[in-house]
């Protein structure tokens, strides 16, 4: 995996970098595993904007990726490695021995022609999926189930992984990419290895238009607004913030305040908070 740079033919092109996609297979996505999702542009069912700065973007089709543990003890062959416009990681098209095809998250190092399997105990190879209690301490896993049978929830973004720290009393201690150490039931399943495209965080957008391709609309600074529009607004020329703590447009404290509920049921499973 590598980051690709361009010749500096324009000022924006000079600093722009993209992921090198030469590792991917030159094939079209599997048509039966595609579905078009409606574009809501950050609006809820009433048509009101609940998430700002979303809209536009390039047309894209959603790939039906299998995050669960269906088809146990059936080996599958990797047919292709593909790009997914809805996620930062790459995906792999696999074909089971009975001819059924499916998309899975591609781990780093997976190649076309490799064999993957989901079972209670599997060989310790990237892409294989097994019960967390059977993963040795020190191994990296991804697509981890928080509750058995619910499908993978943890460590699904490009380059992420969770490290197995300990196994005891029906729980597995995992160290996440954020630094948090938390317990998950060891009867759940997890995939071995690190998620593909680990250098994604090194890409540089380079120009405003590329953000528009991704469906991100412009953001106006609060200090550039009027006092009626934002807590930071107003003043002659550039002015300091004028409030003791950073706040959102609606006056809610956005820095220096913990937002996790004190009585959330899963607090007891968090051994160490993230940094």
Domain-located, residue 104: yes
* The predicted structure's pLDDT at residue 275: 78
Residue 233 lies in a domain: no
The structure tokens listed for 81 are 């490695």
User: In total, how many domains does the chain have?
Assistant: 1
d(CA 258, CA 256): 7
- Residue 198: what pLDDT? 93
Determine, yes or no, domain membership for 232.
no
Q: What is the pLDDT of residues 95-116, one digit of tens each?
A: 999 889 999 999 998 999 999 9
Quick one: tokens of 211? 């953000």
Q: What is the pLDDT of residue 274?
A: 86
Compute the distance between CA of residue 213 and CA of residue 13 in angstroms, rounded to an integer.
15
Q: Distance between CA atoms of 135 and 132, rounded to whole angstroms?
A: 5
**pLDDT for the residue numbered 70:** 81
In this prediction, residue 111 carries a pLDDT of: 92
- 128 and 116 in contact (C-beta within 8 Å)? yes
Half-sphere exposure of 61 (CA within 13 A, CB side): 11
Residue 42 placed within a domain: no
Does residue 152 form part of some domain? yes
Nearest to 217 by CA among 33, 30, 54: 54
Q: How many residues in the chain? A: 275
Do residues 134 and 120 make contact, with C-beta atoms less than 8 angstroms apart? yes
In a domain, 115, yes or no: yes
Tokens of 192: 């071995």
Long-range contact pairs involving 237-243 (C-beta distance under 8 Å, separation at least 24): none
Q: Residue 28: which domain range?
A: 3-37+55-201
What gap in Å lies between CA 39 and CA 56, rounded to an integer? Answer: 8
Q: What is the C-alpha separation between 246 and 15, in angstroms, rounded? A: 31
Please report whether residue 49 resides in a domain: no
Per-residue confidence (pLDDT) for residue 204, from 0 to 100: 93
Q: Output DSSP code: residue 34.
A: E
Which residues in the chain come in under a pLDDT of 70? 1
Q: 75 lies in a domain? A: yes
Q: What CATH number is given to the structural domain containing 116? A: 2.40.50.140
In angstroms, the CA 185 to CA 168 distance is: 10
**pLDDT given for residue 132 in this prediction:** 94
Please tell me the pTM assigned to this model: 0.88
Give 2's Cβ-side CA count (13 Å radius). 4
């Amino acid at each position: 995996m590598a980051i690709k740079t361009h010749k500096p033919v324009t000022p924006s092109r000079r600093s722009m970098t993209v992921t090198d996609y030469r590792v991917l297979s030159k094939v079209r996505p599997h048509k039966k595993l595609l579905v078009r999702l409606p574009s809501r542009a950050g609006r809820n069912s009433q048509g009101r904007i609940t998430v700002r700065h979303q809209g536009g973007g390039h047309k894209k089709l959603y790939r039906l990726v299998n995050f669960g543990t269906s088809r146990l003890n059936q080996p599958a062959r990797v047919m292709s490695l593909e790009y997914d416009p809805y996620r930062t990681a790459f995906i792999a098209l696999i074909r089971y021995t009975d001819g059924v095809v499916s998309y899975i998250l591609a781990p780093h190092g997976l190649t076309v022609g490799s064999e993957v399997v989901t079972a209670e105990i599997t060989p310790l190879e990237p892409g294989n999926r097994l019960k967390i209690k059977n993963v040795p301490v020190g191994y990296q896993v991804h697509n981890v189930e928080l509750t058995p049978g619910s499908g993978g929830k943890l460590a699904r973004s490009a380059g992420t992984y969770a490290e197995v720290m300990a196994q005891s009393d029906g729980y597995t201690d995992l160290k996440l990419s954020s630094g948090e150490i938390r317990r998950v039931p060891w009867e759940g399943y997890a995939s071995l290895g690190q998620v593909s495209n680990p250098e994604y965080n090194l890409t540089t957008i380079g120009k405003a238009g590329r953000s528009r391709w991704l469906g991100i609309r412009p953001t106006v600074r609060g200090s550039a607004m009027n006092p009626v529009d934002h807590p930071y607004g107003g003043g002659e020329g550039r002015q300091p913030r004028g409030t003791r703590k950073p706040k959102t447009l609606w006056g809610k404290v956005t820095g220096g305040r913990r937002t996790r509920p004190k009585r959330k049921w899963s607090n007891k499973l968090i051994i160490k908070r993230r940094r």
